[in-house]
Amino acid sequence: MGAVNGEGIGVSAVPFTLKRSSDLWDSKGGYTATTETAHGLVRLEADRLVIQWRLAVRTESMGGSSWSTKDEIEPVREIEVPLHKVAGATVPRSRWGLLRAPRLVIAAADLVAFDEIAGGQGLKLKHPAQLVLRLKRADRLVAEEFAADVALAVARLPGPAAAKRISRA
């Protein structure tokens, strides 16, 4: 597992990036390109995932003979997802091998799990039950260890079968 916090609990974390762009032409021939880049960190704590990100928005506008660029950086946002709402995490292998940047895929066990991230105010996920995070190539091993830590933490959660075993004892 990753580093150990002051309470002796292992903490595993992975940095990520999400990027999306949009282009808009108006009726007067003006053009606006918007690029949103979220730089974030997903961290596994004792009983939850903590997802933090900061969104940088670059807007480039062209109208007639003028061109302008506007950069905005939003404050850090954070959500906590209880581990019982997480099904698991993987770093899928690409058929392109090492040529393509790795991705960390965190699957939800409950559609509400990533609701704050999936919505219009969040990161606008393609699927509300999957959080797909783009990683640097150098972070592949860290992400694979993180996915294994998540799998172990989810497996250790008390489930219905564990509750029955405890009540019989």
Q: What is the pLDDT of residues 80-134, one digit of tens each?
A: 999 999 999 999 987 766 667 899 999 988 888 887 776 555 555 666 688 888 9
Q: Is residue 169 part of a domain?
A: no
Q: Is position 130 within any domain?
A: yes
Per the domain annotation, does 135 fall within a domain? yes
Domain range for 144: 3-158
* Number of domains composing the chain: 1
Average pLDDT of the chain to the nearest whole number: 81
Q: Please return the burial class of 155, using the count of CB atoms within 10 Å of its CB with bins 0-12, 13-18 and 19+.
A: exposed
Task: Please report the pLDDT score of residue 26 as a whole number.
Answer: 83
Within a domain: 163? no
In a domain, 168, yes or no: no
Q: Is residue 107 part of a domain?
A: yes
Amino acid at 92: P
* CA atoms of 28 and 169, how far apart (whole Å): 76
Q: Is residue 165 part of a domain?
A: no
Q: Evaluate the CA torsion angle 24, 124, 145, 92 in order and state its sign.
A: negative
Q: Are 127 and 111 in contact (CB under 8 A)?
A: no
* Segments of the chain assigned E as strands: 3-4, 10-25, 31-45, 48-63, 66-73, 77-82, 86-90, 103-108, 130-134
Strand, coil or helix: what is 43? Answer: strand
Note the pLDDT tens digit of each residue in 61-83. 988 788 899 999 999 999 999 99
Q: Does residue 92 lie in a domain region?
A: yes
